[in-house]
Amino acid sequence: MLKVGIIGRPNVGKSTLFNKITGSRSAIVNDMPGVTRDRLEKVTEWLGVRFTVVDSAGFDLKEEIIKKEMQQQFFTLLDEVDVCLLMVDVTEGVHSLDEIVCNLLREKGKTFFLVVNKVDSEKREYLASEFYRLGVSEMFLISSEHGRNVDMLLDRVLDEAQKYEQEEGSDEPADLLRLTIIGKPNVGKSSILNRILGKERVIVTEIPGTTRDAVDTYFTFESKNYVLTDTAGIRKKSVMFKDAVEKIGYYRGMDALERSDIAIAILDAVQGVTERDVKIIADAVDMGRTVIIVFNKWDLIKEDKKKTARDLQFQVKDRIKFITNPPIIFTSAFTGNRLDNIFKYAQRLYKEYSKRIKTAELNKLLQFAQERHQPPVVSNRRLKFFYMTQVDVKPPYFVIFVNYPEAVHFSYKRYILNLIREAYGFDGIPLRIGIRKRK
């Protein structure tokens, strides 16, 4: 997790900012053991991304920083954090210590932003211009007390936190793909499942337990890791309790879907795309899952396979409109032909599914979108789009900050989503977009 340190001279407003950032959003208070009150760390989040903020009396920069040994201590403290917010006070102007500290930070190669605090009003912004003298490329004019522009600062921190996460990887091994098989009864779900797990090159690493609840099967294929979060309903069938089992199977299925990345939707090639199939796939997409469409029982198609394939592709395009270009496989659980493609497609989808677009790029796109289609005027107010950022992956979730959220029409959201797809692909991936009011 990214660690952010707030440093600066006494009274510039460090604790005020710390409290503002961690305030109601703080998740875990982590009073570091062994160290008394002089250091406080809090895990907080901004738009769904977590990072740690360090509030430390040790970062109170005083005159002693001019002494060599004090600089050593300062560097030791700095080693703990990934990003520094160097805070200054706009009402006091540039202090010689600020200059010294800027140079120390550069010497150390630290990522840092200059945070000019107590810019409570626009009037005070012009006072801040003298801080350009420090030559820091990224400067934020904020008011910790009033929260002014704190969101912009946090967006910038969020960029760093995301970069950091990408470098470090998340808690789970990044290459563990969670698959689940969905489909109406009798399309061949268990047959396909057994075919997959029975493949020669599929190495099942772990089937935890044999109870009906433990249904995750871990396996590797071509040195990639997968887990099939299975629905109990698929494996066991009871004629006697058919209804009950189906019901349980259904809810388990929902649970398995919650925990998976990719849904493998099995359909019967002979029947084509039915209403029931559409409904099941729509549920998966609503839950944010991405889908591979598998037409099974291909062995039963005897004549004109080419035409049948084209027909089925058309049916997908026509009836499963809510997914853009999902991958389609024609196979038979009996032969297993082309079933390997599941893995190829799963890898490809997963890459898209977990893709992150940089805030800077999204903002260019938002700019472009507005130039091409000016947002409407509602009740005499021009709708203003401030910026856009991607706050989550799996599925990708974008948020646009505006002055007037109620005025954002559904069609404008769709327009932006289409532009995102044009620019970045996301084929087969459900995308979400949220609108928030900028404070």
The answer to the question of residue 8 lying near ligand GDP (CB under 6 A) is: yes
Least separation in angstroms between residue 90's CB and ligand GDP is: 9
The answer to the question of residue 402 lying near ligand GDP (CB under 6 A) is: no
Q: Looking at beta carbons only, is 265 or 402 nearer to ligand GDP?
A: 265
For residue 426, which of 388, 400, 395, 389 has the smallest C-alpha distance? 395
Q: Is 108 annotated as a binding residue?
A: no
Q: Is 296 annotated as a binding residue?
A: yes
Least separation in angstroms between residue 12's CB and ligand GDP is: 5
The answer to the question of residue 250 lying near ligand GDP (CB under 6 A) is: no
Of residues 15, 71, 324, 354, which one binds ligand GDP by CB under 6 A? 15
The answer to the question of residue 84 lying near ligand GDP (CB under 6 A) is: no
φ, ψ dihedrals at 378, nearest 5°: -125, 130
The answer to the question of residue 198 lying near ligand GDP (CB under 6 A) is: no
Q: Select the span of 126-134, 138-146, 398-406, 411-419 touching ligand GDP (CB under 6 A).
A: 138-146
Of residues 44, 52, 143, 180, which one binds ligand GDP by CB under 6 A? 143
Least separation in angstroms between residue 393's CB and ligand GDP is: 31
Q: Looking at beta carbons only, is 150 or 388 nearer to ligand GDP?
A: 150
The answer to the question of residue 42 lying near ligand GDP (CB under 6 A) is: no
The answer to the question of residue 300 lying near ligand GDP (CB under 6 A) is: yes
Q: Is 35 annotated as a binding residue?
A: no
User: Which residues lie below 8 Å from residue 94, measured CB to CB, with a gap of 6+?
Assistant: 88, 130, 131, 133, 134
The answer to the question of residue 308 lying near ligand GDP (CB under 6 A) is: no
Least separation in angstroms between residue 4's CB and ligand GDP is: 15
Q: Is 46 annotated as a binding residue?
A: no
Contact 139, 119 (CB under 8 A): no
Residue ranges in 155-184 that form contacts with ligand GDP under rule CB under 6 A: 183
**∠ CA 94-96-102 to the nearest 5 degrees?**
85
Q: Is 13 annotated as a binding residue?
A: yes
Least separation in angstroms between residue 20's CB and ligand GDP is: 9
φ, ψ dihedrals at 426, nearest 5°: 60, 35
Element (H, E) at 133: none
The 10 Å CB-count burial string (b at 16+, else e) for 366-377 is: beebeeeeebee
The answer to the question of residue 186 lying near ligand GDP (CB under 6 A) is: yes
The answer to the question of residue 333 lying near ligand GDP (CB under 6 A) is: yes
Token pair 């800027």 in the structure block, residue? 102
What the block records as the tokens of 29 is: 């208070």
Q: Is 120 annotated as a binding residue?
A: yes
The answer to the question of residue 390 lying near ligand GDP (CB under 6 A) is: no
Work out the number of other CB atoms within 10 angstroms of the CB of residue 346: 23
Of residues 217, 229, 231, 296, which one binds ligand GDP by CB under 6 A? 296
The 10 Å CB-count burial string (b at 16+, else e) for 382-408 is: ebebebbbbbbbbbbbbbbbbebeebb
φ, ψ dihedrals at 30, nearest 5°: -125, 80
Q: Is 185 annotated as a binding residue?
A: yes
User: Which residues lie below 8 Å from residue 39, measured CB to CB, with a gap of 6+?
Assistant: 32, 54, 55, 56, 57, 58
Q: How many residues bind ligand GDP (CB under 6 A)?
A: 30
Of residues 138, 175, 299, 406, which one binds ligand GDP by CB under 6 A? 299
Distance CA 184, CA 191 (A): 13
**∠ CA 373-379-382 to the nearest 5 degrees?**
35
Determine whether 109 is exposed, middle or buried from the number of CB atoms within 10 Å of its CB (0-12, 13-18, 19+): exposed
Per DSSP, helices labelled H in 14-146 are 14-22, 68-79, 96-108
Distance CA 247, CA 243 (A): 6
Q: Select the span of 156-164, 242-250, 293-301, 316-324 touching ligand GDP (CB under 6 A).
A: 293-301
Distance CA 111, CA 96 (A): 21
Binding residues: 8-15, 55-59, 117-120, 183-190, 230-234, 296-299
Binding residues for GTP: 8-15, 55-59, 117-120, 183-190, 230-234, 296-299
Which residues contact ligand GDP (rule: CB under 6 A)? 8, 10-16, 117-118, 120, 143-145, 183, 185-191, 234, 296-297, 299-300, 332-334
